[in-house]
Amino acid sequence: MIVDIGLIALVLAFASALYGVSAAIYGGQNHRPDWIASARRAALTITPLLTIACLTIIISNLGNNFNLEYTYRVNSRGMPTVLKFTSLWGGQNGSVLFFGWLMSLYIFFLFVREWRGNRALQPWVLAVSLGAQLFFLVLTMFFANPFARLWLDANGSPLAAVFQPSGTIPYMPPDGLGLNPLLRHPGMIIHPPMLYLGFVGLTIPYAFAMAALLGGSTASDAAWIKATRRWTLIAWAFLSMGLLLGGRWAYDVLGWGGYWGWDPVENSALLPWLTATAFLHSVMIQEKRGMFKIWNMILIVLTFCLMILGTFVTRTGVISSVHSFARSSLGVPFLLFTALILLGSAALVVLRWNYLKSENRLESPWSRESAFVLNNFLFLTITFTVFLGTYYTMFSELIVGQKLTIGPAVFNQLIGPQVTALVLLMGIGPLLAWRKSSPQALGRMTQKAGLIAVFVVAVLFLSGIRAFGALAGFGVVTYAGLITLEEIYHGVRARMKLSDESLFVALSRLIARNRRRYGGYVIHLGVIFMGLGVIGTTMFQQETEQPLRVGESITLGDYTITYQGSELYVPENEPDKTVFVGHVLVSVAGGPPEAMTPYREVFQQGGGLLPPALRSTLTEDLYILFTGEESGFGTLKVYINPLVNWLWIGSIVLIVGTLLAMWPSGAGAAVAVRAPGQIIVGEAGK
């Protein structure tokens, strides 16, 4: 049977990973290129094997093979075909297999080309990345095997097992349970793979960092840090997209008017993003000035540990959260693995302390280096806040024996000021020169932006806004945004003067010549836009809710919303769901009424979706929810979300900037070739 092929492929992939790790370690220790080459070939077999394993699950899902426990749990006959594909990652066991497959893709693309970097690193990168792969294959095989089948024992009660237990007969239920309704949204089809790609991608930078320590050669310094930065950026891009898509999904489906609730699972995906972002900044000091090597190593290890912890929290429901669909047996292996990584990495850093010595010193508090130190400091305090807040229930129970929880308001209150400071620094940091700059020079460069920001704050104050947080937020966002735009403008103007180019040509060449720098600026602009949306929604959201008879209205802000009645229907292609549609008329500031139709989806299996009807503009979103009609009353819940669209616009700008910064190009290859030269410069400077 087809499922047996998948199981065999999984076992072979496990064997390959196990052999690969062993061969790589042996080859690395005894300097045997033949063993290393063999380990590489083993690594390359894992992707095809896991592809087969995933495909057999998909085939089983498509064919309604409910004898397979996984298909039974996440599929039903009534489900549309596209969901039968995506239910590969819709349940626990399938998603662990899928996670491993994505990891194997990274490893495949890393090793499929001839190894161009430092030879000494290769066996250790192989060993560490395959070690992580092996961990996830162990989980798939022994703790969350998607190839388990259903059997009936002598009493006629069903059980699940990979191999037929004695005295049982195969069992094929007539229909499956179906995919959790919350996961049937297009956003949920792409959000998990993006987040997973971000998570597993962090394995590669970790593998390079550990390889640099295990290989123990200073000459490999520049090579590992370059590769690490590149792979971190790729993972960071996916992680950012995953987080942003998750926010948009929540906004479109969950029906609470927001996009981020400081839920433990959201937080645990944010944590590695925070430390990875800190690393992407501080790695520049190591590249340019040979400083902060130990610190960068710690950031990489921390990021990888937070990733594993995040996966653990998401997959095991250890902390109660809207995301934890299941409680499972994955806890112990995850904790052991995290402990192993932490202890092993810490031991390596201590052993190789000498290789990580700084080549330079901080010369002035007014320098680019100091700006990066402050940047890392803030990222770290934010990470600490989120971490402590997320695990507060656990810590408080351990320490004082009483469960205490942290609500979203507390997170906003504590993190708001820290993020504001970070955005301010984001504006002025890039203006500071390496080594030494001065407050006077900085003042001269940001005079205009500062004046305009003060003017904006004054106008907001006069228009009646008194909340300090909002005024400070808008002021800082204006200031940092203008400085960033001015930086780009200076570059463009210089080009236009020098080479007589048009504005557009000058801008595109400017970016093409220095993608990393200007990609970074575009990312910063994205953050500025997102800042507008965050301030608008957290400080100025309005909300009302009322049961209404047909013909009655509610008013919120400029909007008058009149309830017109409801209807319900069952979609033809999804017979297991009922849709309740509310009809409303919305008139803006007394203008002509527009029809809007918020609805609610309810699933036979229980649960449902509450998507809003949106009237979206650049200034605000009108967000209407229809929660159902009961005894003649239809209940409407209405939110006004000011500036929220800037959050989504900013997200897109951020992703565009990331693509600019990381897109492989001729220029990228040239940098790689120049790398050895930089080491010489660095050593001469000592």
322 binds another protein (CB under 8 A): yes
Please give the Cα distance from 256 to 217 (Å, whole number).
54
Q: Work out how close the CB of 552 gets to another protein at its nearest, in angstroms, rounded to a whole number.
A: 12
Token reading at 598: 């918020």
- Per DSSP, which regions of 119-257 are E strands? 149-152, 158-161, 169-170
Would you say the C-alpha torsion 204, 209, 214, 215 has a positive or negative sign? positive
Rg (CA), the chain: 27
Token reading at 80: 């549309």
290 binds another protein (CB under 8 A): no
159 binds another protein (CB under 8 A): yes
End-to-end CA distance of the chain: 66
Q: Could you tell me which residues are beta bridge partners of residue 547?
A: 635
Number of residues that bind another protein (CB under 8 A): 61
Which residue lies nearer to another protein by CB, 254 or 643?
254
- On whether the CB atoms of residues 495 and 510 are closer than 8 A, the answer is yes
Which residue lies nearer to another protein by CB, 116 or 327?
327
Which residue lies nearer to another protein by CB, 621 or 629?
629
389 binds another protein (CB under 8 A): yes
- Least Cα distance to 281 among 607, 50, 575, 524 occurs for 524
468 binds another protein (CB under 8 A): no
Token reading at 218: 């200073």
Please give the Cα distance from 54 to 494 (Å, whole number).
54
Binding mask 86-115 for another protein (x = CB under 8 A): -----xx-----------------------
5, 11, 335, 362: which one contacts another protein (CB under 8 A)? Answer: 362
Q: Residue count of the chain, please give it.
A: 686
79, 150, 211, 596: which one contacts another protein (CB under 8 A)? Answer: 150
162 binds another protein (CB under 8 A): no
- On whether the CB atoms of residues 442 and 428 are closer than 8 A, the answer is yes
Binding mask 409-448 for another protein (x = CB under 8 A): xx--xx----------------------------------
Residue 120 DSSP code: G
Binding mask 532-551 for another protein (x = CB under 8 A): -------------xxx----
Which residue lies nearer to another protein by CB, 418 or 597?
418
Please give the Cα distance from 533 to 551 (Å, whole number).
34
Please give the Cα distance from 76 to 294 (Å, whole number).
52
Binding mask 65-84 for another protein (x = CB under 8 A): -------xx-----------
630 binds another protein (CB under 8 A): yes
186, 407, 571, 668: which one contacts another protein (CB under 8 A)? Answer: 407
- Least Cα distance to 7 among 50, 62, 63, 64 occurs for 50
143, 377, 434, 540: which one contacts another protein (CB under 8 A)? Answer: 377
In this structure, the number of other CB atoms found within 10 A of the CB of residue 174 comes to: 7
364, 396, 597, 678: which one contacts another protein (CB under 8 A)? Answer: 396
327 binds another protein (CB under 8 A): yes
Please give the Cα distance from 558 to 393 (Å, whole number).
42
Give the residues lining the site for another protein (CB under 8 A): 72-73, 91-92, 150, 157-160, 171, 173-175, 177-178, 180, 320, 322, 325-327, 361-362, 377, 380-381, 384-385, 388-389, 392-393, 396, 402-407, 409-410, 413-414, 545-547, 600, 602, 605-608, 610, 627-628, 630-633, 635, 637
